[in-house]
Amino acid sequence: AIFDELDLPLKAGSASEVPGIFDGDWRRGEADHTLKSYDPSTGRLMATVQGASAAQVSSALGAAQAAFRVFRKLPAPARGEVLKDIADAFTLQKDALGALVSLEMGKILTEGRGEVQEVIDLAAVAVGLSRTMAGSYLPSERAGHVLMEKPNPLGIVGVVTAFNFPVAVHGWNFCMSFICGNATVWKPAPSTPLTAIATTKLIASVLKKHNLPTALATLVAGDVETSKALCEDERVPLVSFTGSETIGRIVAQTVAKRLGKCILELGGNNAVTVLSDANLDLAIPGVVFAAVGTSGQRCTSSRRVYVHRDIADRFLQRLVGAYEQIASKGLIGSAVHDPKALAGPLHSPTAVAKHKETLAAIKSRGGRILFGESTAVQDLPSHLTGGNWVQPAIVLHSNSSDEAFAEEVFCPILNVYIISSLDEAIELNNDVRQGLSSALFTNDHVSIGKWLSAEGSDTGIVNVNAGTSGAEVGAGFGGNKATGWGRECGGTAWHAYCSWSTSVVNYSRELPLAQGVKFHL
Ligand code: UN1
């Protein structure tokens, strides 16, 4: 039913091939690699998609460029009117598209729908921008002159997204790119092609209604070969990449080599600090949602906890209790197949192996597993046994420099260390390469002030009495340091999707030079 609703040429139960390239027309990929879409809850193969070859990326970019040449003539407020209709289409299909996200990515239904909501919300921000995208009008030192700074479109924005937010992250980029007057070319994660195809269909249908070229929402499903072709192409001035730090480094260097620019959203490795006066009624659910929710597969998921020694016992007891409750009540399960679940499966069998390996290695280095030593999920219904299930884990460490604290693993493993002061926690919070999100739980205004100050947390998202994940789209989203310094969503993120021009306009009858330079013929 979801497939029909979203106009996907698939029958439930069959694993047929679906075309994964859209450049105004749907095309079948010609690369040697095949993408496979599985249901991570059952392990069932749902569809295959042939990847886009480098030559196909090049011709899709040609189509996107032609679309841009038409689109750039449309005034920004008119672009806003179209985006409003795109947002309405997402609203209409929120349940179906959200369910497809759950089915293909594995997250629970409310989070699948939440992703679609993020797009609708950011579209609202972008529609507002369509009438307020301000440049500036500045005083000139020369009489009868003015200075202006003005945003213009860039041309084509390349968007490479990860499996964990298969709708929202493309949506954020598409909305900003579109409102700034660009064509967008999307290379989705190799394991979530169906969501990308359904999303593209939805956007293209609205563009068509407005008589706009549908290649403004171009799609090139594929793997490394496809991304490489996109990143190397000089027709793509901006590449927005979400994914691992390792691949991010390659993307950044590939794009920099041709002097293009990047928005990077890489690994998070986010920490929560819980001080002795913290309200545990906030801290416990805050940590549990960010560590167990989405099975630890958000860039904003909590990986580290620094808890004050005066409260450590009480905190850990309640935390373990919460994990036990999730396990014993059968709250780990597929949302699509079992709507009361709080956490779904991991996305891939590789992630399951990584989870087990990581826990075993931590244990061999002396970490104390407080919960989740046995990684198997209890009482899993028989129709789910083929899925990628693990039990979330809590580990208490006695060594704050254990490598578990340094490297982000995209699994539900929470590493805990007991601290003695806020200063120690800030030191540890900041002592990693990554810098996406962080959270402090306390009621002390002095601690809050320090945490938010220049001596405080160095991450891009710095929360107080709220967990590390689940950011709203009204403000800028992104991380510092090895997270890549990128900003998406609200705030001033739209600036990056523009080509800026500074103009001096002389409305006098003289030609004075700046800085008082004299140059008489
Ligand atoms: C991501 O994990 O790639 O803040 C994005 C959050 C979501 C976005 C996460 N709004 O958790």
75-90, pLDDT tens digit by residue? Answer: 999 999 999 999 999 9
Asked if residue 270 has its Cβ within 6 Å of ligand 1, the reply is no
pLDDT at 254: 98
d(CA 249, CA 257): 12
Q: How many angstroms is it from 417 CA to the middle of ligand 1?
A: 25
Sheet hosting strand 145-153, strand order edge to edge = 136-139, 145-153, 498-506
Within 399-458, residue ranges assigned H as helices are 422-430, 445-452
Residue 416, phi-psi category: left (phi > 0), alpha (psi -120 to 50), beta (remainder): beta
Q: How confident is the model at residue 340 (pLDDT cuts 50, 70, 90)?
A: confident
ipTM of the complex, rounded to two decimals: 0.98
- C-alpha of residue 121 to centroid of ligand 1, in Å: 14
pLDDT at 11 over 80: no
Ligand 1 and 169: CB distance under 6 A:
yes
- Please indicate whether residue 469, judged by its CB atom, sits closer than 6 Å to ligand 1: yes
Q: Which atom of ligand 1 is nearest to the CA of 472?
A: 10
pLDDT at residue 339, rounded to an integer: 81
Q: What 3-state DSSP class applies to 324?
A: helix
Has residue 202 got a pLDDT over 90?
yes
Atom of ligand 1 nearest to the CA of 265: 3
Identify the burial level of 500 via C-beta atoms within 10 angstroms of its C-beta, where 0-12 means exposed, 13-18 middle and 19 or more buried: exposed
Res 323: pLDDT? 97
CA distances from residue 284 to 109, 111, 290, 392, 423 in whole angstroms, order as listed: 23, 20, 10, 15, 22
In the predicted model, is pLDDT for residue 13 greater than 80? Answer: no
Q: Is 299 in the pocket of ligand 1 (CB under 6 A)?
A: yes
- pLDDT, position 338: 80
Q: Is the pLDDT of residue 9 over 90?
A: no
Is residue 12's pLDDT more than 80? Answer: no
Q: What is the mean pLDDT of residues 309-313?
A: 98
Is 265 part of the annotated catalytic residue set?
A: yes
Tokens representing 431? 């002592």
Give me ligand 1 centre to Cα 469, in Å. 6
The chain-wide mean pLDDT, for the chain, equals: 97
Pick the closest to residue 35 from 52, 58, 55 (CA basis): 52
- CA 157 – ligand 1 centroid, Å: 21
For 46-81, write each residue's pLDDT tens digit: 999 999 999 999 999 999 999 999 999 999 999 999
Options 111, 265, 408, 488, the catalytic residue: 265
Q: At what angle do helices 168-179 and 76-92 cross, to 10 degrees?
A: 160
Q: Look at strands 145-153 and 498-506 and give their pairing.
A: antiparallel
Is the pTM value of this prediction over 0.90?
yes
Closest ligand 1 atom, CA of 114? 10
